[in-house]
A and B are shown apart, each in its own frame.
Chain A
């Protein structure tokens, strides 16, 4: 089980420092709610796609966006029928199918859903989890929260692997010819094994110096070249939404 979406690369966006990248992602997501023009919708939707295509290529970009297609289809089918007040664009006899307001509503929702998903996926595809946590620490994320986040990201694949082993051994207990595995005994075994780890993990944390000032994980992130230029770009790109919006 792989918990990291990171894809190695040397693109412009990969070389961006994690701090301005986090800032740009959050600012872009927040400002996408202020956009109300068709040009703005196009920028919100296509800008993350363009950056993703340039950073990780077409295959990965398609993999991320293909998950959203069923949602786009449902929104396309239902929103115009729900929002039928205003200037009619498509009518069937006396029944109004699509209005200008309905079309506007569809494009607003699709652009926002696609834009925010794309911006967040772009961050996860171009930064390692540990670097994202370091970036959040730079934004004053409390030490205990950062420690918990890094522990969670280590435990998820471990427990996923443990569950696979439990499931495989439980499936051997089924009668011959039957497939699957007994769900309740398997998840109970996983839960018991996980809870047993809690006191041991707490002891390990104390042995590693948990609570002692400056003992673990306090190293700052080095500033890359053109650091302030990266901050400027990280602010200008999302703020451009206000101009087109």
Chain B
């Protein structure tokens, strides 16, 4: 019975956090000084990893980014987004321990996020044959900026939410 209750809680957590990542990617957009918009996908992915750990981060972060691609009209990138953002959240969740991580560990987690996102898109879009290497390289600076800003915003968001909702840590698994 207790296991069933736990499964219902996990399914609810994954579904809602996946929807949060998709909404942050699709709806919340910050105007960029060089034109266009920066999405908060990486902020949401980092937040899920910090708040709920590596497994929830892997599933909700990866699925949320993939759903955003499917809904946003870029279905060809859904698989790549799932792998890149899922791995990003998984590694960040592993590095940053439940509420007690030191600043160097948080910086390391942010650095890992930047490397995974920029390197992951560069390699996987070329590997899956969806673009050429030279075109994929053009996207690297934007991906570095977005994932670095996202990791910082994700951390600020986690601190803010933790203050506002104390039982947050009890939902981590």
Contact = CB atoms under 8 A, between A and B. Distances in A.
Interface of A: 1, 3, 5, 33, 64, 67, 71, 74-75, 78-79, 81-82, 105, 108-109, 112-113, 116-117, 120-121, 124, 144, 147-148, 151-153, 155-156, 158-160, 163-164, 183-184, 186-188, 190-192, 194-199, 201-203, 205-206, 210-211
Given A105-B132, A155-B15, A192-B161, A1 B8 contact: no
B17 interface: yes
B17 A194 contact: yes
Given A198-B9, A198-B16, A201-B15, A183 B30 contact: yes
A205 B30 CA distance: 36
Contacts of B67: 152-153, 156
Interface of B: 4-5, 7-9, 11-20, 22-24, 26-28, 30, 40, 43, 47, 51, 63, 67, 70-71, 73-76, 78, 129-135, 138, 153, 156-157, 160-161, 164-165, 168, 171
Contacts of B63: 152
Contact of A1 (B27, B73, B131): B27
Give the interface centre of B18, B27, B47, B153 by most chain A CB atoms within 10 Å: B27
Contacts of B130: 109, 112-113, 116
A33 B129 contact: yes
A205 B168 CA distance: 20
A75 B130 CA distance: 10
Which label, helix, strand, loop or mixed, suits the secondary structure of the B interface? helix
Given A78-B135, A156-B71, A192-B164, A112 B129 contact: yes
Contacts of B18: 148, 152, 155
Contact of A156 (B23, B43, B73, B157): B23
Give the interface centre of A82, A144, A187, A206 by most chain B CB atoms within 10 Å: A187
A75 B20 CA distance: 33
A195 B134 contact: no
Contact of A113 (B23, B40, B76, B153): B76
Give the interface centre of B11, B23, B135 by most chain A CB atoms within 10 Å: B23
Given A151-B15, A152-B18, A163-B23, A184 B131 contact: no
B7 to A, nearest CB: 7
A135 to B, nearest CB: 15
Nearest to B64: A152
B26 A160 contact: yes
Contacts of A109: 129-132
B5 A202 contact: yes
Given A79-B132, A117-B74, A163-B27, 18 more contacts: A67-B73, A116-B130, A151-B16, A152-B67, A153-B67, A155-B18, A159-B20, A184-B160, A188-B161, A191-B157, A194-B17, A194-B19, A196-B165, A201-B16, A202-B11, A206-B4, A210-B8, A211-B4
15 contacts: A1-B26, A33-B129, A79-B132, A148-B15, A152-B22, A155-B15, A159-B16, A160-B27, A184-B153, A187-B40, A188-B160, A198-B171, A205-B8, A205-B11, A206-B5
B75 A206 contact: no
A198 B4 contact: no
Contact of A195 (B14, B71, B168): B168
A147 B131 contact: no
B135 A74 contact: yes
Given A120-B76, A163-B27, A206-B5, A198 B161 contact: no
Contacts of B160: 184, 188, 191
